[in-house]
A and B are shown apart, each in its own frame.
Chain A
Amino acid sequence: MIARVVFLFVVSATLLSGCSSQSGSDTAHQVVLTGSSTVAPLMNEIGKRFEESHPGVRIDVQSGGSSRGIADARRGLADIGMVSRDLRSDENDLTAITIARDGIGLIVHSENPVQSLTNEQIVQIFTGQIENWSQVGGNDAPITVVNKAEGRSTLELFLKHFELNSKDIQADVVIGDNEQCVKTVAGNVNAIGYVSIGTAEFDANAGVPIRLLPLGGIIASIENVQNGTFPLSRPLNLVFTKQETNFPKGIVGELIEFALSPEMHEIIQEQYYVPVKP
């Protein structure tokens, strides 16, 4: 009986110790990146190229949102955090390097006759003051407002740009990521939502029945995000704790410089993001 009790203790001790171990990178040959689901696919591709030219190095990319990127970089759970917005004033313990830009565009179904909306109309649609497309020159049909779940950086940027509070938004559908928004709008002629312009252009070119609306008279295109004229755009940042040098030492710094190199522009464009001009 005593032996069994001892055995029990050993088993539970093993289980408990498993819980408290750190999951950060222990070896010098692994770089862990966590954060924005917008930046993650891009860093995944860049990481693959980096692994090819640096044998023995492993790049581990996990998505989970910009907030996670900030938190993990601070706590040391990740070597680099991926954040798809400007750093806030209370985040100046971190350094951010912009590797590309992304724009957020409003999308409607391609059969929707409405060609453009003013900022005021957009605000009224998302706050429920305009509930029918006929009020903005479209069909006589109720508007389905597609919003993002709380915490997403796309939502934050959208709210900030239109000076809205998340409580004010009267949504009909709440979704998680960009692709789910595209699918929801593609499946509903009367829906309106907002996604990364990169995602929208990619899907529209692939034949998905969605259309990007211009904003303030400026066409929502990758080109206009790059030249900075499109009003609703955001930087894609790699963040890390402040160092004495510009970049972190060792393999982590090498990866960041690699991501900024002109050779990566092609990959950034393949992902429908916009490279930063050197």
Chain B
Amino acid sequence: MFPSNRDAFLSWTIYGCGVFSAAIVVLILGFLIKESAPTLYHLDILRFFTDPSWHPSSSPPEYNLLPLIVATLLTTLGAIVIAAPLGIGSAIFSHFYASRVVGRAYGKVIELLAGIPSVVYGLWGLTVLVPLVSQWQPPGASLFTAIVILSIMILPTIALFAGAAFESLPKEHLQAAEALGLSRSRIVISVVLPASRTGLFTAIILGTGRAVGETMAVLMVAGNVVQTPYSLFQPVRTITANIALEMAYAMGDHRGALFVCGLLLMGIVIVLVSVAEWVSRGRVYG
């Protein structure tokens, strides 16, 4: 094979991979729109926000998605508030405070944590965490337990990406800071954190993405009652849990409304990715 042939072959293959991945996204989006279009067409779109509640299979059906959206945002926000400081803190620990051996072992443990399937977290939450909380604040399955489980799940994601951000800092920064005789905590606060904030933002955005999309674990611990909570200990249902709970049994407009939920999730993810892109652009070139 001539070098030019090989070149052409390689570029074709790469081109194919690119088209394939892009096509999947376009097909999924197209599929979601196609399946939700009939429902969006003959139901007034306002009904998804003004109906009394979510009772898609009673008569007349009700399709209010607002409680689901609020629940998704609250669980995600709560999880980020807990997991972001913990994750970034643990990354700082393993990179700047722990000894080389401990730091490396610690990194492996975090990687392991990231690899545990979500249903395992869910099972633990359902059989251990929920009964515990229910003795304190019945019924146990609630916004609170969902936030706790989600924080544990996205903590490793944030820790790993924060660690990668620290890893990519120019060595000169740290050497210069140490040459100035700055204390370890001063280096972390004044040099490391400001210099790696783009990476840290990305870590948090990726964690947010995982929290928004997480389904099984939340489904098992959140209680899944469709309502806008006024307390941390009330059960809630997220958009993903709603799809997972009802999709297998849904028909007609009920099914269409669940696809609208899917479209909504896709929209949230698109916004997140755009924000991440905008943040990294702004910092790198700005």
Tell me if B130 and A184 are in contact (CB < 8 A): yes
Complex interface bits, A106-120 against B, C-beta within 8 A gives 1, otherwise 0: 000000000000000
- Which B residues, 10 to 66, have Cβ-Cβ distances below 8 Å to chain A? 12, 15-16, 19-20, 23, 27, 31, 53, 55-58, 62
The interface residues of chain B lying within 8 Å CB-to-CB of A144 are: 134, 138-140
* A141: Cβ under 8 A from any B Cβ: yes
Complex Cα gap A68–B254 (Å): 13
Tell me if A172 and B223 are in contact (CB < 8 A): yes
Instruction: Spot the interface stretch: A11-19, A25-33, A237-245.
Output: A11-19
Complex Cα gap A188–B237 (Å): 20
| CB of B161 to closest CB in A, whole Å | 32
The interface residues of chain A lying within 8 Å CB-to-CB of B140 are: 144, 187-188
* A8: Cβ under 8 A from any B Cβ: yes
Question: Given known contacts A144-B139, A150-B246, A151-B246, is B15 in contact with A7 (CB within 8 Å)?
Answer: yes
Considering only CB atoms, which chain A residue lies closest to B59 in the complex? Answer: A165
Complex interface bits, A167-178 against B, C-beta within 8 A gives 1, otherwise 0: 100011111100
Complex interface bits, B114-154 against A, C-beta within 8 A gives 1, otherwise 0: 00000000000011001100100011110000000000000
The interface residues of chain A lying within 8 Å CB-to-CB of B251 are: 67, 71
* A251: Cβ under 8 A from any B Cβ: no
The interface residues of chain A lying within 8 Å CB-to-CB of B20 are: 11, 15
* A4: Cβ under 8 A from any B Cβ: yes
* A180: Cβ under 8 A from any B Cβ: yes
* B105: Cβ under 8 A from any A Cβ: no
Complex Cα gap A142–B233 (Å): 14
Tell me if A188 and B139 are in contact (CB < 8 A): yes
Tell me if B130 and A15 are in contact (CB < 8 A): no
The interface residues of chain B lying within 8 Å CB-to-CB of A150 are: 55-58, 246, 249, 254
The interface residues of chain B lying within 8 Å CB-to-CB of A63 are: 248
The interface residues of chain A lying within 8 Å CB-to-CB of B57 are: 150-151, 166
Question: Given known contacts A183-B127, A184-B141, is B249 in contact with A7 (CB within 8 Å)?
Answer: no
Tell me if B224 and A174 are in contact (CB < 8 A): yes
Tell me if A176 and B219 are in contact (CB < 8 A): yes
* A228: Cβ under 8 A from any B Cβ: no
The interface residues of chain B lying within 8 Å CB-to-CB of A218 are: none
Number of chain B interface residues as a range: 35 or more
* A46: Cβ under 8 A from any B Cβ: no
* B225: Cβ under 8 A from any A Cβ: yes
Complex Cα gap A37–B245 (Å): 13
Tell me if B235 and A172 are in contact (CB < 8 A): yes
Interface centre among A4, A166, A173 (most CB of B within 10 A): A173
Complex Cα gap A144–B141 (Å): 10
Tell me if A8 and B19 are in contact (CB < 8 A): yes
Complex Cα gap A143–B235 (Å): 14
* A103: Cβ under 8 A from any B Cβ: no
* B200: Cβ under 8 A from any A Cβ: no
Considering only CB atoms, which chain B residue lies closest to A183 in the complex? Answer: B126
Complex Cα gap A72–B17 (Å): 35
* A259: Cβ under 8 A from any B Cβ: no
Complex Cα gap A167–B60 (Å): 11
The interface residues of chain B lying within 8 Å CB-to-CB of A81 are: none
* B220: Cβ under 8 A from any A Cβ: yes
Tell me if A174 and B139 are in contact (CB < 8 A): no
The interface residues of chain B lying within 8 Å CB-to-CB of A47 are: none
Tell me if A65 and B248 are in contact (CB < 8 A): yes
Tell me if A188 and B23 are in contact (CB < 8 A): no
Tell me if A165 and B58 are in contact (CB < 8 A): yes
* B250: Cβ under 8 A from any A Cβ: yes
Considering only CB atoms, which chain B residue lies closest to A8 in the complex? Answer: B19
Some 24 contacts from A to B, beta carbons below 8 A apart, are: A16-B27, A19-B31, A64-B248, A67-B250, A144-B134, A144-B138, A144-B140, A150-B56, A150-B58, A150-B246, A151-B249, A151-B254, A166-B57, A166-B58, A167-B55, A167-B62, A174-B237, A180-B126, A183-B127, A187-B126, A187-B140, A188-B130, A188-B134, A190-B139
State the B residues within 8 Å of A (CB). Answer: 12, 15-16, 19-20, 23, 27, 31, 53, 55-58, 62, 126-127, 130-131, 134, 138-141, 219-220, 223-226, 235, 237, 244-246, 248-251, 254
Closest 10 CB pairs of A and B: A151-B249, A187-B131, A174-B224, A144-B139, A65-B249, A149-B245, A172-B139, A64-B248, A173-B223, A150-B57
